[in-house]
Chains A and B, each alone.
Chain A
């Protein structure tokens, strides 16, 4: 019986859920989304690749490439923490819609 007044009230109120994807969620500052790389500042020190807990990041110093496997990434933000450049060349963006049917598309390689 305790729940009845509230249940009746809820009949006339709007749903608690958001109308996604029409209505976008507001992400808090510091949200850890997809890791993105800025080629302008990167010095190829390899620290992000060495410290990545899942080895998702691979850096090739000779060919000046930076690759990430988003399927392996656990969004911990360690790469951002260890990046020595200013401004940081590895950063968590607020992209979060990363699901997809093709596993190979999770692997990205960027060239300087």
Chain B
């Protein structure tokens, strides 16, 4: 039988986000896969260099619509490291609380999408209905459903008052009950078992070799979570990493559902701790923060999809280089391995079970339309791109020149 190359994406009814996967198939069976990224480039890394540190906070939030708060936390944490300051305890707890809320809504979105790809639309609707409870809590705490704009350099912008506690406690109780139910559905439902058990299997050995991050790694039995280092308030909240055994699509969903339950536990504990901690929520640094020129730092946090990494180099009032390594960028190559041997109908489920996020992953590719040749822009070329910001628009039509 001949080998065929079947293109999957970037526009495909079964793939929500823009990635192109070249599947080498023999009949229905996948023999190999090749990933092509570069359909969703926004030029945010370069745009950081055009604006002062304080305005970069809002830009970093726009890297991703689902995990924006992690980006601002990581960015602010990096600047605070360079300034050599520590944020107040109350600010740490509020940052952590909002992080965990965001993790819950992100994981529930991922669980819903897996259910949808499996063909269990009922479950998809139920999970998304319950996700609204998290979105409501986020809205009442921060003012927006997404893009909370909660962080500033040196703390947070809004305090969490007692008036929210009653509603939050009620919502958290409902969510806990619902998530336990979904956990049993993902474990025991016959359709779920057929479509996700032993599908997209990533063994412990392979996981060590390919080194993905986040729940995709932990589902293969490797205990690696940045929260275990105890940054922000995770040490006080006695965080325990959730790991799985199977390493298949089902296990990845189970790990996500269990992480949501762990988040609920931490949010509850955090709310009680917040009643005891008094004090400022911010260091009230001036809005024109200046960092000593030439300083560089590395900052990392655990985003819903895994380790998020920022490298920053200071040029005084502005950064000279910001490099973002997002979790999906570190995870998505696993797909080339775990797709092998499965049929084409399994591809959407496997992709969704990895919970990829492309808006933060894509890097720029230039395609010459005359010669049809592709070219990846190197770091050196980006650094020497004259007036680089002018052609790079980002969401909401932001102005690149400050």
B143 touching A32, Cβ below 8 Å = yes
Nearest CB in chain B: distance from A60 CB, A: 17
Complex Cα spacing A6 to B144, Å: 31
Nearest CB in chain B: distance from A61 CB, A: 20
Cβ-defined partner of B396 (8 Å) among A7, A54, A81: A54
Binds A, one of B26-34, B184-192, B344-352: B184-192
Complex Cα spacing A68 to B157, Å: 23
Q: Which residues of B contact A7 (CB under 8 A)?
A: 122
Complex Cα spacing A26 to B157, Å: 23
Q: Which residues of B contact A76 (CB under 8 A)?
A: 58, 147, 149
Nearest CB in chain A: distance from B183 CB, A: 10
B126 touching A6, Cβ below 8 Å = yes
Q: State the main secondary structure of chain B at its contact with A.
A: helix
Contacts A1-B190, A3-B185, A55-B399 hold; do A28 and B55 have CB atoms under 8 A apart? no
A30 touching B158, Cβ below 8 Å = yes
Q: Which residues of B contact A6 (CB under 8 A)?
A: 126
Number of residue pairs across A and B with beta carbons under 8 Å?
73
A51 touching B287, Cβ below 8 Å = yes
B129 on the A face (CB < 8 A)? yes
B397 on the A face (CB < 8 A)? yes
Q: Which residues of A contact B122 (CB under 8 A)?
A: 3, 7
A75 touching B144, Cβ below 8 Å = yes
* Minimum CB distance partner of B395 in chain A: A74
Q: Which residues of B contact A55 (CB under 8 A)?
A: 399, 402
B272 on the A face (CB < 8 A)? no
B301 on the A face (CB < 8 A)? no
Complex Cα spacing A72 to B402, Å: 14
A87 on the B face (CB < 8 A)? no
B13 on the A face (CB < 8 A)? no
Name, among B123, B129, B149, B181, the residue most crowded by chain A CB atoms within 10 Å (CB to CB). Answer: B149
**Interchain residue pairs with CB less than 8 A apart (18):** A2-B181, A2-B188, A3-B122, A16-B129, A16-B132, A28-B143, A32-B144, A51-B54, A51-B287, A54-B396, A54-B398, A72-B397, A72-B398, A74-B149, A75-B149, A77-B143, A78-B58, A82-B287
> 9 closest A-B pairs (Cβ-Cβ)?
A28-B140, A53-B58, A76-B149, A32-B143, A55-B399, A53-B55, A54-B398, A16-B129, A2-B185
Given contacts A31-B139, A92-B143, 15 further A-B contacts (CB under 8 A): A3-B185, A16-B129, A28-B143, A31-B143, A32-B143, A51-B54, A53-B57, A53-B398, A56-B399, A71-B396, A74-B396, A75-B144, A75-B147, A77-B143, A77-B149
Give me the interface of A with B, judged by CB distance under 8 Å. Answer: 1-3, 6-7, 16, 28-32, 51, 53-56, 71-78, 81-82, 92
Give me the interface of B with A, judged by CB distance under 8 Å. Answer: 51, 54-55, 57-59, 62, 120, 122-123, 126, 129, 132, 139-140, 143-144, 147, 149, 157-158, 181, 184-185, 188-190, 287, 396-399, 402
